[in-house]
């Protein structure tokens, strides 16, 4: 099992959200693998001099770029789910059965998870 992080997790960490911080510390304690999309990083990264918490979290997260074969799969998933956020779709493509997706946008992510028919759990942060 791994945990896939969307932009909302990084923003919560930046704002020092205690609940999200506690969740991440527990995941790290359990040595759960964390992953995110490079598009999520682009979405949240603005100034490394002022984003020490985000940088610290990123140090322990596997960041995956949109692979050549995933561009079309992402578009197809968006069409099936009738949504339009490419970043959300890529986050869902990173998830596998039994994974968790931590998100601030649970409704759209759940819609994409259902459309993809993957047995990942969505947790709102």
Residue ranges of domains in the chain: 2-124
Give the bridge partners for 5, in sequence order. Answer: 102
**Residue that is written with structure tokens 């960490």 in the block:** 13
Q: Could you tell me the two tokens for 37?
A: 């999309």
Q: What is the rounded CA–CA span in Å between residue 90 and residue 85?
A: 9
Assign domain 2-124 to its CATH superfamily.
5'-nuclease (3.40.50.1010)
Q: Write down the pLDDT at residue 69.
A: 87
Predicted local distance difference test score (pLDDT) of residue 39: 96
The residues of the chain scoring below 70 in pLDDT are none
Please give the pLDDT value at position 93: 97
pTM of the model: 0.95
Q: Is the dihedral of CA 32, 102, 39, 59 positive or negative?
A: negative
Tokens standing for residue 72: 């079309």
pLDDT at position 12 is 97
How far apart CA 18 and CA 32 sit, in angstroms, is: 19
């Amino acid at each position: 099992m791994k945990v896939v992080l969307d932009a909302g997790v990084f923003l919560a960490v930046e704002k020092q959200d205690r609940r999200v911080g506690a969740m991440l510390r527990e995941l790290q304690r359990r040595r759960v693998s964390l992953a995110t999309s490079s598009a999520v990083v682009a979405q949240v990264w603005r100034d490394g001099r002022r984003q020490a918490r985000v940088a610290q979290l990123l140090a322990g997260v596997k960041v995956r770029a949109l692979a050549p074969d995933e561009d079309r799969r992402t578009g197809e998933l968006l069409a099936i789910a009738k949504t339009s956020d490419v970043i959300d779709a890529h986050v869902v493509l990173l998830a596998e059965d039994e994974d968790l997706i931590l998100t601030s946008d649970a409704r759209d992510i759940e819609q994409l998870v259902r459309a993809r028919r993957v047995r990942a759990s969505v947790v709102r942060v």
